[in-house]
Chains A and B, each alone.
Chain A
Amino acid sequence: MPEFQPTLLWAVAVLPFAGFLINGIGAFIAPDRKILATVTGPAVVGAAFLIAVVNFLGMRGAELHGPIVETYWQWITVGGLRIDAAFQLDQLSMLMTLIVTGVGFLIHVFSVGYMHADGGYLRYFAYLNLFIFFMLVLVLGSNFPLMFVGWEGVGLCSYLLIGFWFKDREKADAGKKAFIVNRIGDLGFMIAMFMLYANVRSLDFVTVFEQAPVTFAFGGAAVTAITLFLFLGAAGKSAQIPLYVWLPDAMAGPTPVSALIHAATMVTAGVYLVARAAVLFALAPVTAIVVAGTGALTALFAATIGLAQYDIKKVLAYSTVSQLGYMFIGVGVGAWAAGVFHLMTHAFFKALLFLGSGAVIHAMHEAYHHTHRHDDAQDMRNMGGLRRYMPITWATMWLATLAIAGVWPFAGFFSKDEIIWQVGARAVGPFEGWFTAFWIMALVAALLTAFYMTRLMVMTFHGRNRTGEAESHHLREVSPVMWVPLAILAMLSVVGGWINVPEAIAHAPVLGWLPSAEWLHEWLHPITESAEAVAAVNLPAAAEHAPFGGGEVMWAALSFGLAVAVILLAARFVGGRQIRPAAQSAEPRGLMRVLYHKWYVDEIYDAIIIRPVLATSRALARFIDDGIVDGAVNGVGYAARALGWVGSRLQTGQLNSYAFAVVGGVLLLIALVVLR
């Protein structure tokens, strides 16, 4: 087979950046020339996607000896540290590039319809292009610092886009919250980089991952600390407990932003980081428990909150947090390919769900706009029966719901089921107790997922319409520029899982009736093989059965059956209840009230972190800043004035005293000269 040469790899990242410059400058000089952003915004991302596809096809047809690193220039050279501005193309970064540019392109197209009436249209596309650029730097960077540049850059774009409507105080605050919470994680990322350099003397991916099995002892303190700090960074970016609180608030941004940044791409950066550093994580079994445990806890916890939310985007936000938890279970227990697989399928169906909710909100907003009513266009209690008005949105969102709920043969079934299976099968040796617990949590969370998603669909699209008599006449299906991306994503949500059907299921009756191959595992094998080698030496092999017996096929069939049962149950339960419009609804009671208020986590954080920090800051401001720092500065001023006052008393204006001073001085000088 021929040697593989990447084609225009730099252009993949540079094109969106060019789009950012064009739209950014346009936003300053001609913010009303919307045609500029309508063309360049999606076009640059589409072109980047095409280049990525060309590279992908080239990569499939050629032999690849390790990752390809293209160095553009030397970025930092200090002492023994040398960091290049270089892109690394391998199977993992290729896959991420395809997801980022592909899903990104669809969301850009959708945005053309969604944001067209907005005054900041060009600014919006400038930010969105910039985000794609930084995301590509993140996934393509060939060393930790360059990845960190992308990491911070996407954080910046996330902040800018959450606070896109910054005139609304609440939305600007949500942007700040996201930025500040992410800082905590970034600190972990930086400490991990420092420690890595101290131990390995390099920050290049290739060198670090080659050296790691030699440098670090299995389960040693150094590698455990490094991976825990890396995971702190990942938990911040990917919204895991305890740093998940920013993501639900991030829904303040425009809905396509939620789809792109807070569902499909940026929030999965943490998962990508763990998968990228798989060798390090394989060397640290304690971290494995922490990562998988955090993931399992988050998956379950966020799913419970999703049960009781009324804002359609909040449900999806908590669903995203929950699904990210699944990915961390996968990459935590050592099933890196499974985690990345779920990342990919999740990008499809969650982007679709968010865009679908965006279409719904768009329609609701239009309807309220026509009758000049100011009700909440995002509250599901104000929706209901939208199926009649928006059939395409309804159909595509149901496909995504079935996918996320884990119904065969949709994408989510294969990816989620594989994670659940992997955590169960790996509950052996030192991990037995822990992983069994995580396995049960993951199963329960899967059922909750099916429930809250069905609840969302039924409340939004089925039953009686609660928008209002006059308003319902103005409810319309969205334009093709918005529903075509929905349809494409819906197709991907259906078939996206077929690229990685486990061998056991491929040969099972009914479940195996698909054109399928265990392709993704093979594709990612070069990335994970060194990590798997580490695990194979140090850990017992995965079991052939789940903790309580039963093989892969049995559990897959069981979870499929349970998911369908829960969906039917939820449809009956929610459909049978009388729902009032938001304005006439009372606060929920009992456990639902606790869930509605998100377990009061924001309030708890407010009480134990934010208030003490603010109080301490105020005290410090008063005593240290006002008292000591300002005191010192003012003190110098006062001292100079006091000295000047004393000096001015010497200026009597009396000629005699001046003469006296002169004579005294002369005598003194003479005395000094003579007596010396």
Chain B
Amino acid sequence: MVTQSLVLASILFAVGTAGVVFRRNAIILFLCIELMLNAVNLAFVALSTAIGIEGQVFVFFVMTVAAAEAAVGLAIIISIFRLRETVDMNDFNLLRW
């Protein structure tokens, strides 16, 4: 059961990562990050049966941080959209040299 859970978590994480690296839409990117976080949550829960309750406690922390991150991230996307009228990552090059 643990093995299957970890395989699922890995797949979800890989999908999320691939989304972050290859997709251009900021919203999709954002969802992919959430996907990665939740893949990690799944891994924590799965491993808590073997290791102890700490895994499940960590999940709450991750969810809290993810919620905060979602709020800030969405706010950034909205303000960028207001400025650029687009959510295409190719147009976001403010971090360049």
Q: Which of A296-304, A335-343, A649-657 contacts B (4 or more CB under 8 A)?
A: A649-657
B96 cross-chain contacts in A, Cβ below 8 A? 651-653
Q: Measured between alpha carbons, how far is A652 from B94 in the docked complex, in Å?
A: 9
Interface string of A642-672 (1 = CB under 8 A from B): 0000001001111110111001000000000
Do A660 and B21 touch across chains, with their CB atoms under 8 A apart? yes
A663 cross-chain contacts in B, Cβ below 8 A? 17, 20-21
B29 cross-chain contacts in A, Cβ below 8 A? 655-656
Select one of A648, A652, A659, A660 contacting B93, CB under 8 A.
Answer: A652
- Across the interface, name the chain A residue whose C-beta is closest to B20: A659
- Across the interface, name the chain B residue whose C-beta is closest to A663: B17
Chain B proximity of A317: nearest CB distance (Å): 71
**Could you say which of A648, A651, A659 has the most chain B C-beta atoms within 10 Å of its C-beta?**
A659
Do B92 and A653 touch across chains, with their CB atoms under 8 A apart? yes
- Across the interface, name the chain A residue whose C-beta is closest to B95: A653
**Could you say which of B22, B29, B97 has the most chain A C-beta atoms within 10 Å of its C-beta?**
B97
Do B93 and A656 touch across chains, with their CB atoms under 8 A apart? no
**Interface members, chain B 16-36 (any A CB < 8 Å):** 17, 20-24, 29
Do B97 and A651 touch across chains, with their CB atoms under 8 A apart? yes
Do B17 and A655 touch across chains, with their CB atoms under 8 A apart? no
Chain B proximity of A662: nearest CB distance (Å): 9
**Interface members, chain A 603-656 (any B CB < 8 Å):** 648, 651-656
Q: Does B89 contact A (CB under 8 A)?
A: yes
Q: Measured between alpha carbons, how far is A659 from B20 in the docked complex, in Å?
A: 7
B23 cross-chain contacts in A, Cβ below 8 A? 656
- Across the interface, name the chain B residue whose C-beta is closest to A645: B97
Do A654 and B20 touch across chains, with their CB atoms under 8 A apart? no
**Could you say which of B22, B23, B89, B94 has the most chain A C-beta atoms within 10 Å of its C-beta?**
B89
Q: How many residues of A contact B (CB 8 A)?
A: 11
Q: Measured between alpha carbons, how far is A446 from B94 in the docked complex, in Å?
A: 94
Q: Measured between alpha carbons, how far is A25 from B97 in the docked complex, in Å?
A: 59
Q: Measured between alpha carbons, how far is A427 from B20 in the docked complex, in Å?
A: 107
Do A659 and B92 touch across chains, with their CB atoms under 8 A apart? no
Q: Does B4 contact A (CB under 8 A)?
A: no
Q: Measured between alpha carbons, how far is A653 from B95 in the docked complex, in Å?
A: 4
Q: Does B3 contact A (CB under 8 A)?
A: no
A659 cross-chain contacts in B, Cβ below 8 A? 17, 20-21
- Across the interface, name the chain A residue whose C-beta is closest to B26: A655
**Is the interface on chain B under 10, 10 to 19, 20 to 34, or 35 or more residues?**
10 to 19
**What's the dominant secondary structure at chain A's contact region?**
helix
Do A656 and B95 touch across chains, with their CB atoms under 8 A apart? no
Chain B proximity of A21: nearest CB distance (Å): 62
B17 cross-chain contacts in A, Cβ below 8 A? 659, 663
A654 cross-chain contacts in B, Cβ below 8 A? 89-90, 92-93
A648 cross-chain contacts in B, Cβ below 8 A? 97
- Across the interface, name the chain B residue whose C-beta is closest to A648: B97
Chain B proximity of A400: nearest CB distance (Å): 84
B20 cross-chain contacts in A, Cβ below 8 A? 656, 659, 663
Chain A proximity of B61: nearest CB distance (Å): 21
Select one of B21, B22, B94 contacting A653, CB under 8 A.
Answer: B94
Chain B proximity of A168: nearest CB distance (Å): 58
Do A651 and B95 touch across chains, with their CB atoms under 8 A apart? yes
Q: Measured between alpha carbons, how far is A314 from B94 in the docked complex, in Å?
A: 80
Q: Measured between alpha carbons, how far is A655 from B32 in the docked complex, in Å?
A: 13
**Interface members, chain B 78-96 (any A CB < 8 Å):** 89-90, 92-96
Do A655 and B22 touch across chains, with their CB atoms under 8 A apart? no
Task: From known contacts A660-B21, A663-B17, A663-B21, infer whether A655 and B89 are also in contact, taking CB-CB under 8 Å.
Answer: yes
Q: Measured between alpha carbons, how far is A610 from B95 in the docked complex, in Å?
A: 62
Task: From known contacts A660-B21, A663-B17, infer whether A655 and B95 are also in contact, taking CB-CB under 8 Å.
Answer: yes
Chain A proximity of B35: nearest CB distance (Å): 13
Q: Measured between alpha carbons, how far is A660 from B23 in the docked complex, in Å?
A: 11
A655 cross-chain contacts in B, Cβ below 8 A? 29, 89, 92, 95
Q: Measured between alpha carbons, how far is A652 from B96 in the docked complex, in Å?
A: 5
Do B94 and A656 touch across chains, with their CB atoms under 8 A apart? no
Do B24 and A653 touch across chains, with their CB atoms under 8 A apart? no
B89 cross-chain contacts in A, Cβ below 8 A? 654-656
A653 cross-chain contacts in B, Cβ below 8 A? 92-97
B95 cross-chain contacts in A, Cβ below 8 A? 651, 653, 655, 658
Q: Measured between alpha carbons, how far is A663 from B16 in the docked complex, in Å?
A: 11
Chain B proximity of A644: nearest CB distance (Å): 9
Q: Measured between alpha carbons, how far is A653 from B90 in the docked complex, in Å?
A: 9
Q: Measured between alpha carbons, how far is A501 from B95 in the docked complex, in Å?
A: 101
Chain A proximity of B77: nearest CB distance (Å): 12
B22 cross-chain contacts in A, Cβ below 8 A? 656
B97 cross-chain contacts in A, Cβ below 8 A? 648, 651, 653
Q: Measured between alpha carbons, how far is A651 from B95 in the docked complex, in Å?
A: 8
Chain B proximity of A668: nearest CB distance (Å): 14
Chain A proximity of B24: nearest CB distance (Å): 7
**Interface members, chain B 43-97 (any A CB < 8 Å):** 89-90, 92-97
Chain B proximity of A670: nearest CB distance (Å): 12
**Interface members, chain A 523-582 (any B CB < 8 Å):** none
Q: Measured between alpha carbons, how far is A100 from B51 in the docked complex, in Å?
A: 101
Chain B proximity of A627: nearest CB distance (Å): 33
**Could you say which of B23, B93, B94 has the most chain A C-beta atoms within 10 Å of its C-beta?**
B93
Q: Measured between alpha carbons, how far is A659 from B92 in the docked complex, in Å?
A: 14
Chain B proximity of A640: nearest CB distance (Å): 16
Q: Measured between alpha carbons, how far is A653 from B80 in the docked complex, in Å?
A: 15
Q: Measured between alpha carbons, how far is A77 from B73 in the docked complex, in Å?
A: 75
Q: Measured between alpha carbons, how far is A611 from B24 in the docked complex, in Å?
A: 72
A656 cross-chain contacts in B, Cβ below 8 A? 20-24, 29, 89
Q: Measured between alpha carbons, how far is A653 from B24 in the docked complex, in Å?
A: 13
Q: Measured between alpha carbons, how far is A455 from B95 in the docked complex, in Å?
A: 92
Q: Measured between alpha carbons, how far is A648 from B29 in the docked complex, in Å?
A: 25
Q: Measured between alpha carbons, how far is A663 from B36 in the docked complex, in Å?
A: 12
21 pairs from A and B in contact (CB 8 Å cutoff)? A648-B97, A651-B95, A651-B96, A653-B92, A653-B93, A653-B95, A653-B96, A653-B97, A654-B89, A654-B92, A654-B93, A655-B89, A655-B92, A655-B95, A656-B20, A656-B21, A656-B22, A656-B29, A656-B89, A658-B95, A660-B21
Could you list 10 further interchain pairs (A-B, Cβ under 8 angstroms) beyond the known A654-B92, A654-B93, A656-B21? A651-B97, A653-B94, A653-B97, A654-B89, A654-B90, A655-B89, A656-B22, A656-B23, A659-B20, A663-B20
3 tightest A-B CB contacts, nearest first: A653-B96, A653-B93, A648-B97
Binding site for A on B (CB under 8 A): 17, 20-24, 29, 89-90, 92-97
